[in-house]
Amino acid sequence: MAHFEKPLSSETRFEGRVFTVTVDKVELENGRTSTREVVHHHGGACIAALTDENEVYLVRQFRYAFGQELWELPAGKLEKGEDPFAAARRELGEECGLTAEHFVDLGPVYPTVGYCSEIIYCWAATGLAPCDMHLDEDEFLTPEKVPFDKAVEMVLSGEIRDGKTVAALLKIKALRDAGKL
């Protein structure tokens, strides 16, 4: 039998530009009730741009919540109802100044399952070509090509800590090792 929690009520406590927060009352499978605080997010899309020279494009970007610059794959949040694949392609152009000919769907990542509904959709891209890079006016980042094997080492050493980046890079490595990418 699958585990479940039955929603009983929901109250919106915060509604912002990026997410909404609700406090929900749920019935547990044992019949008791509990409270769930949920961050509702439209999700995001990320893309691993892989060069013919076995490099991957990463971006360095300051993340205010952590007070530090982090290494990440190019990514962005989805607008309500936006197609994740279109968003991933847009972010590749905006953040790295690239387009691609071929794409591999790496599947979704659920980065914070305990309290957030965000899903990040991930792709790998090959057959890269330059285009105009055009960051949002409040976006500051630096794209860099990194040898793919070094990027995996950066994940394993803890230098890359961003969840979507860790998941996508390790999935690409596993697919390559299995001869599927």
What separation in angstroms does the CA of 145 have from each of 71, 74, 93, 133, 170?
12, 12, 15, 15, 17
Alpha-carbon distance of 26 to 177, in angstroms, equals: 43
How big is the chain by its Cα radius of gyration, in Å?
18
Cβ atoms of 59 and 42 within 8 Å: the answer is: no
Q: Active-site residues: which are they? A: 137
**Degrees (nearest 5) of the Cα angle 44, 177, 107?**
20
> What does the block give as tokens for 43?
């999700």
Alpha-carbon distance of 78 to 76, in angstroms, equals: 7
Of 16, 145, 133, 127, give the one whose Cα is nearest residue 71: 145
Cβ atoms of 149 and 50 within 8 Å: the answer is: no
Alpha-carbon distance of 162 to 153, in angstroms, equals: 14
- Considering Cα of 115, then 119, then 120, then 122, what sign does the dihedral take? positive
